Structure 1
Amino acid sequence: MVATAESVAAAPGWFTEAIAELPEHREVESAGGAIHLRCWGRTGTPGVVLVHGGSAHSGWWDHIAPLLATTHRVVALDLSGHGDSVVRSEYPIEGWADEVMAAAAAGGIAGRPYIVGHSMGGRVAAVVGARHRESVAGLIIIDSPFQEPSGESIVRQLRRTPKAHPTRNDICARFRTVPEQSVLLPYVARHVAEESVRDTGEGWVWKFDPDMLRKRLEQGRIPPLGSLRGVAAPVLYIRCERGLVTPERAREIAALFERPATVVELSAAGHHPMMDQPLPLVATLRTALAQWESR
């Protein structure tokens, strides 16, 4: 569902004020490629790195980040293969984890950053915590199932043929979350959709590498995560009530860490809470950061 002009005009004040706080755009080199960043808040202060999900980009956080930037430096990156970052020949998750830490350093965060990851970005955040054990202050993982797609799902995705669309409005009208969910705030969906496309001169396309899944596969499957027992930072796991993760699975995920994650539930939220429950999501993030920093 994408917004009409009328529904966008009806966006609440908090949203219009948030997206009016335009980010500072930066780039950092990681493994020989340019990684694009959006940054908010005062440089040289404690900070948060926001990591998007698969086929998404840093603009998914445009209405979330300014609400966190009142107390923190906030950096959102486009992982390679996404948004305005480099397209690579392969996408190991360890490389994405290193990009997150490069973004924290280049984005002006002082000290050890907090890492917030949604869906696939939650898996990346977990690898950051294990791979950069002493360099992370805390991890917040949002509705990441920590499960690989089935063979049937992989085959189905590989058969999809990307296409260009004649106009920006045409491609934005086709914006959908994956998986789809019943509630998308129309003004959020429209903003994210408009930030998700680029004009190639021969038509409008989505801002992600259409061959990403194929480049991630090894012997027909995505390599499994290594052990997360080495994560030293505290971990908060946010389970979305209407998302992908059951309460039982959330407890299993929490136990993957040496110090089990704390699990909280975001009521009435689908898998993409920034799309349907953004203010409760912000409140949960603010609370976690405040509690960790008060220790």
Structure 2
Amino acid sequence: MADDIQELSPEQANLLAVYGGAKPTAPDWFTAVVETPFEERFIEVEGARVRYQRWGSSGKPGLLLAHGNGAHAHWYDFIAPYFAEDYCVVAMTFAGMGDSDWRERYSVETFTKEQLAVCEDAGLFAHEQKPTIVAHSFGGFITMHTGSKHSDKFAGIMIVDSPVRPPDDEWEGPPTRPRGNRIYDDLTSALARFRLAPPQPCENHYIVDYIARHSLKHVEKEEGGEGWTWKFDPFIWRRFDAMDKPSEMLMGITCPLTVMRGEDSILMGEKIWSYMRSLRGDMAMVSIPGAQHHVMLDQPLAFVTAVRAQLAAWSVSA
């Protein structure tokens, strides 16, 4: 397992540069699944429009999918349809990211309000069976807070590659950005600069390309002309209020809890994995072989299988 951040060359980090704006060839299963229709909705939460997507019937148990830092609901376009036969599946986009509005200030409390509001609007709380949350990375920390305050509203929570560090290795958060997002002259140039954060190689370039295209927006330049830039708020961490310690939030969850990681994740090495195990002996811990931090990009079908297995296990024990 890797415990240190990888040093990648520009060629390794900029995975799409070699394609010159063309789409990498995708397998049939991926092409078919991302064409699955979904409903798109926007709701207002604390003055900001929050976007979400919904697959499946509202008469089925709810499954809420939450993304990582700087990401968006489209990270689940190739995951969510696999659950739509049995669940009403909702993938949300947090404020400050994707096509949701930016805020003047951000807080874990407001992000929790967004999760609850999306569940309410999508009808996930209306079913006799409580909904489940699956949350990746940054979304996992938000969900720890949501779970620590509102466990009674959920059937279970799965946290995916969200490291809870020991006291002697606490993370101070990502560095704040000194300037806004760059505007590129054309889509090809923007795609060539897309990088995963934290940086890592990924063999599935067709997935990276798909999420990269959904991470960009067409804009007008101040000096005239048009270009492309990233959708996320570059100053989100400068405007983010402090949150509770992740260890305390994790310990506060009282509904069924599972923690997953990419087995080769640079953020979830053995020291952190062991520490998390020491905090909660009652939670399931699952490693996805061949996956790094961005588990659903590296091993999408194995990720689907792991989530299905956990949902089935909870259903049997309920």
Question: What TM-score, normalized by structure 2, do the two folds share?
Answer: 0.84
Deviation at 1:247, TM superposition (A): 2.8
Return the letter of the residue paired with 1:83. G
Deviation at 1:5, TM superposition (A): 8.2
Return the letter of the residue paired with 1:236. T
Report if the CA contact (8 A) 1:133-1:232 is conserved.
yes
1:87-142 residue CA offsets vs partner (Å, 9 max, x unmatched): 11111112111211211121232342111111111111111111112101111111
Q: Which runs of 5+ in 2 are unaligned?
A: 1-14, 222-226
- Residue 19 (structure 2) aligns with: 4
Task: Give the direction of change, closer, same or farther, for the CA distance of 1:169–1:108 in structure 2 (3 Å limit).
Answer: farther
More deviation, 194-203/278-287? 194-203
Deviation at 1:17, TM superposition (A): 0.8
Task: Give the direction of change, closer, same or farther, for the CA distance of 1:254–1:49 in structure 2 (3 Å limit).
Answer: farther
1:199-219 residue CA offsets vs partner (Å, 9 max, x unmatched): 12222111111110100155x
1:266 aligns with 2:288: yes
- Residue 133 (structure 2) aligns with: 115
- Residue 63 (structure 1) aligns with: 78
Task: Give the direction of change, closer, same or farther, for the CA distance of 1:103–1:256 in structure 2 (3 Å limit).
Answer: farther
3-state SS, counterpart of residue 116 of structure 1? strand
1:42 aligns with 2:66: no
Return the letter of the residue paired with 2:139. G
Please list, as runs of the form range in 1=range in 2, the aligned pairs for 1:159-198 lying within 5 A after superposition.
159=178, 161-198=180-217
Percent of aligned positions that are identical = 33
1:294 aligns with 2:313: no
Please list, as runs of the form range in 1=range in 2, the aligned pairs for 1:145-164 lying within 5 A after superposition.
145-147=163-165, 149-150=171-172, 154=175, 157-159=176-178, 161-164=180-183
Task: Give the direction of change, closer, same or farther, for the CA distance of 1:199–1:105 in structure 2 (3 Å limit).
Answer: same
Q: Distance in 2 between matches of 1:237 and 1:192?
A: 24
Q: Would you say how many aligned residue pairs link Structure 1 and Structure 2?
A: 288
3-state SS, counterpart of residue 213 of structure 1? coil
Q: Distance in 2 between matches of 1:199 and 1:212?
A: 21
1:204 aligns with 2:232: no
Q: Distance in 2 between matches of 1:128 and 1:254?
A: 20
Report if the CA contact (8 A) 2:20-2:192 is conserved.
no
Residue 132 of structure 1, aligned match among 150, 159, 162: 150
Task: Give the direction of change, closer, same or farther, for the CA distance of 1:293–1:7 in structure 2 (3 Å limit).
Answer: farther
3-state SS, counterpart of residue 269 of structure 1? coil
More deviation, 86-95/161-170? 161-170
3-state SS, counterpart of residue 251 of structure 2? coil
Q: Distance in 2 between matches of 1:47 and 1:252?
A: 31
- Residue 144 (structure 1) aligns with: 162
- For the aligned residue pairs, the C-alpha RMSD in angstroms reads 2.2
Report if the CA contact (8 A) 2:21-2:192 is conserved.
no
Q: Distance in 2 between matches of 1:55 and 1:64?
A: 18
Q: Which runs of 5+ in 1 are unaligned?
A: none
Task: Give the direction of change, closer, same or farther, for the CA distance of 1:98–1:116 in structure 2 (3 Å limit).
Answer: same
3-state SS, counterpart of residue 282 of structure 2? coil
Report if the CA contact (8 A) 1:7-1:187 is conserved.
no
Deviation at 1:6, TM superposition (A): 11
Please list, as runs of the form range in 1=range in 2, the aligned pairs for 1:82-93 lying within 5 A after superposition.
82-93=97-108
1:132-157 residue CA offsets vs partner (Å, 9 max, x unmatched): 12101111111111356447x52xx4
- Ranked by relative contact order (alpha carbons within 8 Å, sequence separation 6 or more), the top structure is 2
Q: Distance in 2 between matches of 1:89 and 1:117?
A: 24
Deviation at 1:255, TM superposition (A): 4.2
Report if the CA contact (8 A) 1:7-1:186 is conserved.
no
Task: Give the direction of change, closer, same or farther, for the CA distance of 1:47–1:255 in structure 2 (3 Å limit).
Answer: farther
3-state SS, counterpart of residue 198 of structure 1? strand
1:213 aligns with 2:237: yes
Deviation at 1:41, TM superposition (A): 1.0
Question: What TM-score, normalized by structure 1, do the two folds share?
Answer: 0.90
Deviation at 1:234, TM superposition (A): 0.9
Q: Distance in 1 between matches of 2:235 and 2:304?
A: 33
Report if the CA contact (8 A) 1:143-1:245 is conserved.
yes
1:42-62 residue CA offsets vs partner (Å, 9 max, x unmatched): 112102111100011111111
- Residue 246 (structure 1) aligns with: 269
Larger radius of gyration: 2
Q: Distance in 1 between matches of 2:121 and 2:301?
A: 28
